[in-house]
A = this chain, B = another copy of it.
Amino acid sequence: MAEITKRSEDYSRWYQDVIQAAELADNSPVRGCMVIRPNGYAIWENIQRTLDDKFKELGHVNAYFPLLIPKSFLAREAEHVEGFAKECAIVTHHRLKQVTVDGKTTVIPDPDSKLEEEYIIRPTSETVIWDQYRKWIQSYRDLPILINQWANVMRWEMRTRMFLRTTEFLWQEGHTAHATAEEGRAETLQMLEVYRWFAEDILAMPVITGTKTANERFAGAVETFSIEAMMQDNKALQAATSHDLGQNFAKAFDVTYQDAEGKVEHVWATSWGMSTRIIGALIMTHSDDNGLVLPPRIAHTKAVIVPIWKNDEEMAAVCEAADKLAAELWPVVGKVHVDKRDKMRPGWKYAEWERKGVPVRLELGPRDLAAGQVMMAARHDRAKNPVPFADLATALPAELERIQQDLFAIACKRRDDATYIIDSWDDFVKLYEGEGGFAQCHWCGDGDCEEAVQEKTRVTIRNIPFVRDGSRGECVHCGKPSIGRVLFAQSY
């Protein structure tokens, strides 16, 4: 069994170890790309199902657009090409050719298959989607269009880290079209609220909702909003973004509609996305030195029953009882796994399920069976109690709910404990030379000043929180007037 490095010893190594111990992902031979293993993908499937249901409840439908984007499309929106040209995979040929070099057969791109116009693998799909929307939108009757896509995208990152930053990643990208600026803005904020709900209520991950500064806006957006979470090393992680694109893409791709009065106008757009990056955030929010910790609402397996025996007769009896319990609990809480592996000590099994983050363990030995009970143990705080079989159908969901709430409360407290109101540049520098955290500081609103802060300290403005101290003050860096505090942090 691989050892897990302690958080306090080497945080980044700990993160890698948790991923490996829980078998969530693996390195691949493709630069910057990872393999998402079944345990990791099961989390993504739960994320997909929960978000997808919510999107549909709000009237969205799914569609699928091409992986490849004609090179020239990217150039249509000036800021967009600036933002993505430097990190995109480019397809230039469509055929391999076998050749013999120094007596060795190998394959090369067939020069005769060179493309007239190169394609890039989508880093995001605004361009190819808005090119299509031009065909689909003529009149106000065609609006709104509320489309979401589940897809893989690719951004050629130089420094990668599993889940958090990978060259290829999976995500959903919503792309909506509206008749008015107000409708577009309302959609943008509605989807940000969906992400807040999902992060806090499902992932038990507290987040700060707010507006990105102009420097940090999505390439092509009028306004970008984000949810920002805090990891256990006091760094911030942007967990999702929602963009008000105004008429930028409609103008770049010439998408207009005729309103009820016959007036022709450009369409208003939004886009919003959450990616497999959120799994990295989930790992870093709750896990501990024993491995992965998962909030029950996102855990694939809600509980594991570990039957304990010394001989074949006991084995038959406890396994039968365990199977019966698992079958009874399934309709109540979801998947309950029975670990019947032979020739493996219970302690070894406990440690394995702890590493894998199953929220609750139910131990069932011959004496428990005789007493008609199981020992119920919570993964995150090791609380352990005997529960009679008859009570399990109420006690287990209650325990899962307690764990869900507790994980959220712990994460909130950790975040709040590492959040500071800072008014002097010395204190600011000291904070980020030390433990780090969220700093609520006054800022002048100048992008150059923001950049100077980043150059000096690697600290950025995460967002301008919707809920903030709006009193006037002086910029923590340059001293110029400020109309309210913003959220600073070092970030992933």
Q: Which residues of A contact B (CB under 8 A)?
A: 26, 28-30, 33-38, 40-42, 44-45, 61-75, 81, 85-98, 105-109, 113, 118-121, 128, 131-132, 135-136, 147, 151-152, 154, 156, 168, 170
Contact = CB atoms under 8 A, between A and B. Distances in A.
Contacts of A136: 26
A91, A93, A151, A170: residue with the most chain B Cβ atoms closer than 10 Å: A91
A53 to B, nearest CB: 12
Given A36-B63, A63-B35, A92-B93, A71 B30 contact: no
B85 A94 contact: no
Contacts of A33: 66-68
A48 to B, nearest CB: 10
Nearest to A30: B66
Given A37-B63, A108-B118, 8 more contacts: A29-B128, A41-B61, A67-B168, A71-B96, A81-B107, A89-B119, A94-B156, A95-B156
A147 B38 contact: yes
A106 to B, nearest CB: 7
7 contacts: A30-B119, A75-B106, A81-B107, A88-B94, A90-B109, A91-B92, A94-B156
A299 to B, nearest CB: 15
A168 B91 CA distance: 13
Contacts of A135: 26
A131 B30 CA distance: 11
A96 B118 CA distance: 10
Contacts of A36: 63-64
Contacts of A132: 26, 28, 35
A64 B41 contact: yes
A233 B121 CA distance: 37
B107 A96 contact: no
B67 A154 contact: yes
A82 to B, nearest CB: 9
Contacts of A65: 28, 35
Contacts of A131: 29
Contacts of A92: 90-93, 109
A90 B81 contact: no
Nearest to A62: B41
A380 to B, nearest CB: 25
A37 to B, nearest CB: 6
A121 B40 CA distance: 23
A74 B29 CA distance: 13
B62 A35 contact: no
Contact of A89 (B29, B30, B62, B68): B68
Nearest to A153: B67
B106 A96 contact: no
B67 A38 contact: no
A73 B106 CA distance: 11
Contacts of A34: 66
Contacts of A30: 66, 68-70, 119, 128
Given A92-B93, A128-B29, A107 B71 contact: yes
A64 B168 CA distance: 11
A158 B2 CA distance: 50
A81 B34 CA distance: 24
Contacts of A74: 96, 107
Contacts of A64: 35-36, 41, 44, 170
